[in-house]
Structure 1
Amino acid sequence: MQQTTHWINGEHLSEASSLPVSNPSTGETIREVADGNAETVARAVAAAEAAFPAWHDTPPAKRAQVMYRFKQLLEEHSERLVQLVSEEHGKTVEDAMGELKRGIENVEYACGVPELLKGEYSHNTGPGIDAWSNFQPLGVVAGITPFNFPAMVPLWMYPMAIACGNTFILKPSEKDPTAALAVAELLAEAGLPNGVMNVVQGGRETVEALLDTPAVKAVSFVGSTPIAEAIYSRGSAAGKRVQALGGAKNHAIVLPDADIDNAANTLMGAAYGSAGERCMAISVAVCVGDDAADRLIAAMQPKIAELKIGPGTEKGLDMGALVTAEHRDKVLGYIEDGVAAGAKLVADGRNLKVAGHEDGFFVGGCLFDQVTPEMRIYQEEIFGPVLCVVRVDSLDEAIALTNAHEYGNGTCLFTRDGEAARRFADQIEVGMVGINVPLPVPVAYHSFGGWKRSLFGDLHAYGPDAVRFYTRRKAISQRWPSSFETSHAEFSFPS
């Protein structure tokens, strides 16, 4: 069976041990992925360290030229990459294409790195003294990425890291690793020198080796909150710069004056797109007043029943399979738990069967009403096609409910009231906020990140924060000998 390999120093490297990679739409193992270890990571680190001095000294404009060519190659090979994503993840090809396009936006932003790396300059800060600052790369940096965006999330990380002059080691998810490898190959085709970009496959041992290796100066991670917190703690203890993006429980607040039809349409995509396997998926609709809740549920129920669900590689579908059988079973367990806790399951997708794909990992759209904050389906991230409706009496109660949750990744408000929207945007304790926009994912020239237990670290992903994360500022003060000379030693602090 074909093995998805490592990519180290410009070469494919296989491994004696491997892990299975399944097609979620069929349940079949379609390939294997190399299962790396500490030795594998050591080889990648050695390659990245060897490549760093020359890449550090490469002018930013020349680094940007590689990114320009890389962007063109991504667009030329987009159909193949999208098929790989859909085949291994299960999401629809249309959703995978949207993912790839958002990743390409980050490559476009990295093309502007000569401007982004410009420092500051001050003339005559003292007699004959000039001062300036610049941004210098860290060295070898790493990214550990999740299964739900196998193309996009890696592109959040390494284009800017590499454009800033670092060398990079990517550890993609072992559940759907092949697209990330294919994209790295295109980067080499774009002219990136060997060793600047490396891909190591595997599971926990590979991750731990990256976190423990002193040569790796920074780690960027996206995944669940327990793992994000563990990676942040372990990496920081090892002296690394770490940004670790965790989980979410994103609330959509629906006011009585909202356009309910618009809210229902947009919530369908926000809750059930990619089968809910998005950290920005809306998983809770907080309806202010029973009338708003009743109208929203009535509008959504027929739409849920009409969802087109099937193998993601086929076009024209709304939703594909969940990524693995284990994850499907976990989602089903949450649904059972919600029913047992007394929530009302008004749309039940548990018994969905797709003709010809009976062994696929499918769950249909589910909608709960009468959900309360003490229920597990409200408190925890389900990461599946499940939307919970919570009823409250006021906007203030909705804001307090959202702010009390441990996660603070994304949220949105549906309303026609500008005053309410302004108050919501000011008072909500969440990192990414939408007003009548249910998936407020920032564009590439802003930065992505939540608050509270949705982000560990001080800097967000991509955008301007990425430049700061992958560089360190150096401040220089300079004076050349001239007719002005200090005639005696001075021991007071210079001013």
Structure 2
Amino acid sequence: MKLVEHLINGELVSMGDPTQDVFNPSTGEVGKQVEIATKNTVEKAITAAQEAFPAWRATPPLKRARIMFRFKELLEKNINKIAQLIGEEHGKIAHDALGEITRGIENVEYACYAPQLLKGEHSKNISSNIDSWSEFHPLGVVTGITPFNFPAMVPLWMYPMAIVCGNCFVLKPSERDPSAALFVAQLLNEAGLPKGVMNVVNGGKEAVDTLLTDERIQAVSFVGSTPIAKYIYQTATAHDKRCQALGGAKNHAIVMQDAEMENTVNALIGAAFGSSGERCMAISVAVAVGEETADNLIAGLKSKMSDLKVGNFDNSKNDFGPLITQEHMEKVKEYITSAEAQGADIVVDGRSVNVKGCENGFYVGGTLIDSVEASMKSYKEEIFGPVLQVVRVETMQQAIDLIDEHEYGNGTCIFTRDGEAARYFSDQIKVGMVGINVPLPVPAAQHSFGGWKQSMFGDLAAYGPDSVRFYTRRKTITQRWPSSSIREGVNFSFPS
């Protein structure tokens, strides 16, 4: 059986670590095994990165950017192979996987602007014959801990910018689907990156804790669930590290009375059920304003959902595939059952879906639940599955208050043809990323990604302009060259 190894100092290596099964969730079969790094393995990767740092730091930003240009070309050349690896271990349908990789490539393209992004600021003659300027210096060795749901894209949120800023990187991808991240990192080395600048260690809590506590690690980027994000942030900052930790979500879509219903239904279907709902930006709650709006929305969703195709990742005609593990599949079903027990109406039930030829896969079909209340467990918690719940309210303000009162504040959207309503919503809502007739408002690479409240911990968001600040330290230099013919006395006043 194929073994997924680590990438340390430019080489694939087996460290003799304990192994864990990697499943093909479409079939429920074990496809590979992955080494689970011990503390010793992680420390070896950190050492490789630390030893590579002085030379990489001294490499001009233009030369770093040229490696990223070649990396981008290799990603595009190998995009189908990466999508295959994602499908085999995550279950994501090919068209969805290709979309994921494309969005990741956008972040590589943004990183290619490094010479412009790192050029600093300069002020001449801030006082008589005194100049001042700022420079952006790399931190050193930094790390990224990434989730299973975007095994290629989320790592590309992190290390391309970290590396072009002059840092060296240790990536800890999800051990559930490690192959895509490992292969992409190999492409970066193939693009000409010096050995040790990029390293990948597969593992669990021991690997994570080693990265969080090792004094050589200067910064930590994380994407995952809120409980783990809190732990990552608290542990990293307690060990004097810079940290950005992106957590969970409960993304609402407000459907106004004037929304164009057919387009709204189509948008919600894709946003709720794409990638089996295993997206931190998935729409999991539709808030219908007015009973007539709710009735029309339910009717439209129910009709459209009858055509949903759920199945194996390698059939591009399928709309979405399985969940990542059997345990998660059972957890999603439990949320549906709890909603039913608490009085919600299961309009479309995906708990008993059967995929012919893949009977042992980890599938839950698209599920639609009406008459959901804010007190219900299924509403309060992140389900992370193909479940769309509908909450009925009477006014737009009630919808906004409902969203604002939730502990998560990752993404939200409104469907309306009223510009005044859209403007008021985007101004007032307490959520980090907002869509207006856009169900998945994931920022483009030149902007930054981050939620509010319990969806993010740290002061700087992921990728985009914030990433340059996160992966660098500002150094401000003030200089003066006094005339040799002038003798100055001692001045005890604060300079002004």
Structure 2 CA distance for aligned equivalents of residues 297 and 160 of structure 1: 43
> In the alignment, what sits opposite 2:469?
468
Superposition deviation, residue 313 in structure 1:
1.8
- Which residue is 1:317 aligned to? 318
Residue aligned with 2:148, SS: coil
State the distance in 2 between where 1:388 and 1:118 align.
48
Amino acid at match of 1:452: K
Q: Tell me how far 1:316 sits from its aligned partner.
A: 1.6
Residue 86 of structure 1 and its aligned partner are, at CA, apart by: 0.8
Is 2:12 the counterpart of 1:12?
yes
How far has the Cα of 1:480 moved from its partner?
2.4
User: 2:117 and 2:126 mapped to 1: Cα distance?
Assistant: 24
Cα distance per residue 1:194-218 (max 9 Å; x no partner): 0000001110100000000010000
1:71 CA drift (Å): 0.1
- In structure 2, the residue matched to 1:171 is 172
The percent identity for this pair of structures is 62
Q: What is residue 440 of structure 1 aligned with on the other side?
A: 441
In the alignment, residue 176 of structure 2 is paired with which amino acid? K
Equivalence map 1:59-458=2 (5 Å): 59-458=60-459
Aligned residue identity for 2:4: T
Q: Deviations over 1:22-45 (max 9, x none)?
A: 000010110011110111111011
Query: For residues 139-185 of structure 1, what are the alpha-carbon distances to aligned partners after superposition, in whole Å with 9 as ceiling and x for unaligned?
Result: 00000000000000000000000010000000000000000000000
The alpha-carbon deviation at position 317 of structure 1 amounts to: 1.1
Q: Is the 8 A contact 1:52 1:166 kept in 2?
A: yes
SS at match of 1:373: coil
TM-superposed CA distance for 1:485, in Å, is: 3.8
| 1:61-118 Cα deviation digits (max 9, x unpaired) | 0000000000000000001000000110011010000000000000000000100011
Q: Is the 8 A contact 1:45 1:215 kept in 2?
A: yes
How far apart are residue 484 of structure 1 and its match? 5.7
Q: Secondary structure of 1:338's match?
A: helix
Letter in 2 for 1:316: K
Matched, 1:30 2:31: yes
Please say if residues 49 and 140 of structure 1, whose CA atoms lie closer than 8 Å, have aligned partners that are also in contact. Answer: yes
Equivalent runs, 1:41-56 vs 2, <5 Å:
41-56=42-57
Which amino acid is the alignment partner of residue 346 of structure 1?
V
Q: CA deviation at 1:128?
A: 2.3
Is the contact made by 1:249 and 1:407 (CA closer than 8 Å) also made in structure 2?
yes
Partner of 1:2 in structure 2?
2
CA distance in 2, matches of 1:104, 1:273: 20
- Once residues 293 and 411 of structure 1 are traced to their aligned partners in structure 2, the CA distance between those partners, rounded to angstroms, is 18
When structure 1 is superposed on structure 2, of 320-329 and 12-21 the one drifting more is: 12-21
CA contact (8 A) 1:6 1:12 kept: yes
Partners of 1:218 and 1:170 in 2: CA distance: 12
User: What's the offset of the Cα at 1:127?
Assistant: 2.6
Structure 2 distance, partners of 1:127, 1:284, is: 61
- Distance across 2 between alignment mates of 1:448 and 1:326: 29
Letter in 1 for 2:397: D
Shift of 1:14: 1.2
Q: Distance in 1 between the 2:251 and 2:487 partners?
A: 63
What SS is found at the alignment partner of 1:22? strand
Stretch of structure 1 that moved more, 375-384 or 478-487: 478-487
> In structure 1, what is the Cα distance between the partners aligned to 2:446 and 2:287?
30
Amino acid at match of 1:182: F
Deviating above 6 A after TM superposition, structure 1's stretches of 4 or more consecutive aligned residues are none
Is 1:211–1:238's contact at 8 Å kept on the other side of the alignment? yes
- Measured against aligned partners, the alpha-carbon deviations of 1:317-371 in whole angstroms (never above 9, x if no partner) come to 1010001101101101111111111100000000001001000000000000000
Q: Note the alpha carbon deviations across 1:283-307, whole angstroms, 9 max, x for none.
A: 0000000111100110011221211
Shift of 1:481: 4.0
| Structure 2 unpaired stretches of 5+ | none
What code does the residue aligned with 2:95 have?
A: E
The 3-state SS of whatever aligns with 2:104 is helix
TM-score (norm 2): 0.99
CA distance in 2, matches of 1:373, 1:383: 17
Residues in 1 aligned to 2:296 and 2:310: alpha-carbon distance in whole angstroms = 25
Whole-Å separation in 2 of the counterparts to 1:443 and 1:128: 42
Relative to structure 1, the CA distance from residue 355 to residue 193 in structure 2 (aligned partners, 3 Å threshold; closer, same or farther) is: same
Q: CA deviation at 1:487?
A: 2.2
Contact residue 15 and residue 35 of structure 1 kept, 8 A: no
Measured after TM superposition, the shift of residue 13 of structure 1 is: 1.3
Q: Which amino acid aligns with 1:404?
A: E
* Residue identity opposite 1:446 in structure 2: H
Distance in structure 1 (CA, Å) of the matches to 2:153 and 2:485: 57
1:436-484 residue CA offsets vs partner (Å, 9 max, x unmatched): 0000000000000000000000010000000000001100011224236
RMSD: 0.8
Q: Deviations over 1:355-402 (max 9, x none)?
A: 010000000000000000000111000000001100000001000010
Deviations 1:412-454 (A, max 9, x none): 0000101100100000000000000000000000000000000
TM (norm. structure 1) is 0.99
Distance, in Å, in 2 between the alignment partners of 1:52 and 1:354 is: 50
3-state SS of paired residue (1:135) = strand
Query: Using the alignment, how far apart are the partners of 1:428 and 1:456 within structure 2?
Result: 19
Q: Which amino acid aligns with 1:403?
A: D
One-letter amino acid of the counterpart of residue 30, structure 2? T
Alpha-carbon distance in structure 1 between the residues aligned to 2:450 and 2:314:
30
Bigger shift: residues 179-188 or 480-489? 480-489
Alpha-carbon displacement from aligned partner over 1:235-262 (angstroms, at most 9, x marks no partner): 0000000000000000000001100111
What SS does the corresponding residue of 1:211 show, helix, strand or coil?
helix
Unaligned runs of 5+ in 1: none
Question: Quick one: distance in 2 between partners of 1:484 and 1:414?
Answer: 72
Q: Distance in 2 between matches of 1:354 and 1:404?
A: 39
How far, CA to CA, are the matches of 1:388 and 1:25 in structure 2? 25
